[in-house]
Structure 1
């Protein structure tokens, strides 16, 4: 049984006239009558009582009419939704990221996307970087945001926004007296790090420290930048973190932006090299709006950095 058979049946059942039904469908009457006979033969029941004067639905025909209307409506809805998803105006976009990325423009980008693309649902999946890539390739997420993306020919990567690196420490730390620090200023300090086995970004920072003569030997390794701030605030060491994470700083911690040369904490958008209209729409919004959002956040970081007192004074 095909949807075409049900459409033909419904047209006849609603009009109880084969000639009128054929005209509404744009077909001739003999093929329509044959289609109805084929449908009855497949079902094994008569759907119409036909006489020379009238056409009447049988009990089986009445029941099939009700169910056919529902089936055809669902098929139409499915086709319309598929069409909308194909054009990027509906569907679900699943985004993989780490917690520290959420402190940047992504939250505002999602809010703006929802306000302009209401039928598209945005779902966030907080995952370690390597799991993000595995989920992306398995089509469990559609888009990832990472600071140190992998080199992979199956993936397409672009800058989502620029972000600096800074140092977080206890408020009374001697280094907090400076408004800006260099990597060489960190030599000899206990070093708190994101977990090296999970984070390419943490490894980039570690190698940059070595190149600057600062040999970072992590005394603690954690998963998220907020954990680094808590440990640094407790006086257990210093940590390098993305600048926007500092907006959520611990009240007993101080943050200072690092002077160049230092690796950037730029966030990259990563997707599969396939056509996806929903992802394209989100990336279009990102390209247009993330620079302005990042600039506003950067101004807030600088203001907090300038206003922060030396808690050790």
Structure 2
């Protein structure tokens, strides 16, 4: 049984006349008769009673008419959905992100994207960089926003943002009175550090900043999210080096001070699976890139 057979059958069931049905289908009458005979053979039952005066649906034909209409409608809807997905006006996007992206314009980019593509269903998951890469490899995410450029060959990535680290201090800390800090000013301070397991890249970059200043930090606490880093600092649990974007976290009790020299940068990368282009991924990635660029310009 083919969709073509069901379409021919459905038109004939409406017209109950082979000539009129053939004209509606833009075919001649013999191919229509052949198609109906093939459909009856496939079903195993006569669908029409026909003589020189009339064409009538049998009981079996009446039952099939209802089902055929439903199947043809489903086929049309499936084709329409496929066209919409190909055009980027419908579909689903599963997005992973590191917490710092909440302060880098990701929510604004998502709102703008959703306004332009209301039929696209977006699901979000806050995950560290390593977990996102694993989820992408297992086809459980379509797009990730991570802190690392170290990627397996199955994935592609794009640098979206490079920003400086700043010092995060408890508001009442003596160093908070300074407008600018040198990394060496933190030499004797207890550190709250981003976990190596959660992001080896960030862990190593912060240690390298300290090492370049001639010391190794006294690590008191390791956590898995930047917001947790800032939260612990705000409670007086230590100091930290954090991406500049975390200044927007607005946690009471934490202050941020720039460093007096260029150090290793905090990077945000968009990452996705290699393969046929995904229009939705490309459009969202472009929207996020534009949002981050606008945020960077506002900070300049």
TM-score scaled to structure 2, two decimals?
0.94
Counterpart CA distance in 1 for 2:61 and 2:260 is 80
Q: Quote how far apart the aligned CAs of 1:257 are.
A: 2.1
Q: Which residue matches 1:57? A: 57
Q: Which residue matches 1:129? A: 129
Q: Which residue matches 1:282? A: 284
Q: Quote how far apart the aligned CAs of 1:261 are.
A: 2.2
Q: Quote how far apart the aligned CAs of 1:125 are.
A: 1.2
Q: SS of 2:163's equivalent?
A: coil
Q: Quote how far apart the aligned CAs of 1:278 are.
A: 0.9
Instruction: Render the CA deviation track for 1:80-103: whole Å, top value 9, x for unaligned.
Output: 111111121211111111222212
Q: Quote how far apart the aligned CAs of 1:134 are.
A: 0.8
Asked if the contact 2:108/2:291 (under 8 Å) is kept, the reply is no
Q: SS of 1:188's equivalent?
A: coil
Q: Which residue matches 1:23? A: 23
Q: Which moved more, 1:120-129 or 1:72-81?
A: 120-129
Q: Which residue matches 1:87? A: 87
Instruction: Render the CA deviation track for 1:81-132: whole Å, top value 9, x for unaligned.
Output: 1111112121111111122221211111001111112222222111121110
Q: Which residue matches 1:303? A: none
Instruction: Give runs of aligned pairs for residues 215-294 of structure 1, distance below 5 A.
Output: 215-274=216-275, 275-294=277-296
Q: Quote how far apart the aligned CAs of 1:195 are.
A: 1.0
Instruction: Render the CA deviation track for 1:127-156: whole Å, top value 9, x for unaligned.
Output: 121110011111211111112232433222
Q: SS of 1:150's equivalent?
A: coil
Q: SS of 1:180's equivalent?
A: coil
Counterpart CA distance in 2 for 1:294 and 1:119 is 30
Q: Quote how far apart the aligned CAs of 1:237 are.
A: 1.1
Asked if the contact 1:163/1:243 (under 8 Å) is kept, the reply is yes
Asked if the contact 2:188/2:218 (under 8 Å) is kept, the reply is no
Q: SS of 1:263's equivalent?
A: coil
Q: SS of 1:219's equivalent?
A: strand
Q: Which residue matches 1:202? A: 203
Pick closer, same or farther for the CA change 1:151–1:140 going to 2, 3 Å: closer
Instruction: Render the CA deviation track for 1:193-234: whole Å, top value 9, x for unaligned.
Output: 111122122222222321221312421101111211222122
The size of the alignment, in residue pairs, is 298
TM-score scaled to structure 1, two decimals?
0.90
Instruction: Give runs of aligned pairs for residues 57-206 of structure 1, distance below 5 A.
Output: 57-199=57-199, 200-206=201-207
Asked if the contact 1:229/1:249 (under 8 Å) is kept, the reply is no
Asked if the contact 2:129/2:147 (under 8 Å) is kept, the reply is no
Counterpart CA distance in 1 for 2:64 and 2:46 is 11
Instruction: Render the CA deviation track for 1:147-171: whole Å, top value 9, x for unaligned.
Output: 2232433222212233321111111
Counterpart CA distance in 2 for 1:154 and 1:62 is 53
Asked if the contact 2:189/2:218 (under 8 Å) is kept, the reply is no
Asked if the contact 1:144/1:270 (under 8 Å) is kept, the reply is yes
Counterpart CA distance in 2 for 1:107 and 1:85 is 23
Pick closer, same or farther for the CA change 1:243–1:281 going to 2, 3 Å: same
For structure 2, the residue ranges without an aligned partner over 5 or more in a row are none
Asked if the contact 1:147/1:268 (under 8 Å) is kept, the reply is yes
